[in-house]
Amino acid sequence: MVYTPTAPALVAARHELGSGLARAGTERALSRERTYDVEALRPDGSVTRRSLGAPATPAFEAAFSAVARGTLIATTRGQVAVEDLAPGMKLVTNERGPSPLMWIGAMTLPPRPAGRDGDTRLIRVMADAFGIGRPMPDFLTGPGARILKRNGAQADMVLTPFLDLVDGNGVVAVNPPSPVRLFHLGLRRHATITAAGLTIESFHPGPGFERQMTAAMLERFMAFFPHLARPSEFGPLAHPRQPLGSAGGQSDVA
């Protein structure tokens, strides 16, 4: 099923990019640059690689921070560590079966500066927190990760940020003392994949994201996606989802 957001959902998506992850820190982040690394599949089957600097804002960081190095991803070749994936390999999706990996984004998240409180860096999901083998082993996620799960009274499965599931027991917020390499994965169309036994989403910036960026910032953002000619080519969402950092806030649900 392809989820096509209506007007209320577009409002939620705009909220997601505008204030979903620490609105208060966005202005401060604009003054900080981070290096982001990209591998993308060209139409001729070759791979392009680039490293570019861009602001350390939620909109950029969410595109590069779903899973940590070492996470096993389900592919047609079996379980493969995320750092060993390459564009063109086929990932097993839950909506369309095998789907070619079009894009890999990566960044190194530094430790939180001493004396700076309030910004959760990573989420650790303990083994079997969501059932036997879900995940297996422990699963370390970044701020851009969502899991597909049933959300309260809603009938549909909803993509929910791991940050919203922190309970101090099976799902714990952590701030590692050393840098952590993080990755996100892009497909031809938004879908869910299996990482360490959990169902997570491939990258999608959200419906209407381009309307929340200046022309200059949008140009910088799209430079990280050389396989796409325009924002509309991200396509529709496969499932409704909660905004990142929503803590139960408004969702992308009609």
8 Å CB contact between 202 and 225: no
Which residue carries 């699963």 as its tokens? 139
Closest CA to 239 of 1, 11, 62, 7: 1
pLDDT band at 245 (very low <50, low <70, confident <90, very high): low
Q: Is the pTM of this model over 0.95?
A: no
Q: What is the pLDDT of residue 172?
A: 94
71 CB contacts (<8 Å, ≥6 apart)?
Answer: 81, 82, 139, 140, 183, 195, 196
pLDDT computed for residue 150 by the predictor: 83
In 110-214, the DSSP E strands lie at 122-125, 139-141, 146-150, 157-161, 171-174, 180-187, 192-195, 198-201
Q: Percentages helix, strand, coil for the chain, rounded to the nearest 5?
A: 20, 35, 45
Render pLDDT for 65-119 as a digit per residue (tens, 0 to 9).
999 999 999 999 999 999 999 999 999 999 999 999 999 999 999 887 655 555 5
pLDDT (tens digit per residue) in 35-75: 999 999 998 999 999 999 999 999 999 999 999 999 999 99
Read off the DSSP letter of residue 141: E
Q: By C-alpha distance, which of 224, 183, 228 is closest to 91?
A: 183
The pLDDT of residue 176 is: 85
Q: State the sign of the Cα–Cα–Cα–Cα dihedral 109, 48, 209, 5.
A: negative
Q: Is a pLDDT exceeding 90 seen at residue 148?
A: yes
Are the C-beta atoms of residues 65 and 140 closer than 8 Å to each other?
Answer: no
Backbone angles phi, psi at 171, to 5 degrees: -130, 115
User: Which pLDDT band holds residue 155 (cuts at 50, 70, 90)?
Assistant: low
Question: What are 4-33's pLDDT values in tens digits?
Answer: 454 344 334 434 434 444 444 444 445 589
For residues 115 and 147, the model is more confident at 147
Across the chain, what does the average pLDDT equal?
85
- From the list 26, 24, 19, the residue with the least C-alpha distance to 56 is 26
| CA-CA-CA-CA dihedral for 222, 223, 227, 233, to nearest 10 | 10
pLDDT digits (tens, 9 = 90+) for 189-231: 999 999 999 999 999 999 999 999 999 999 999 999 999 999 9
Closest CA to 220 of 37, 65, 59, 54: 54
- Position 76 scores a pLDDT of 98
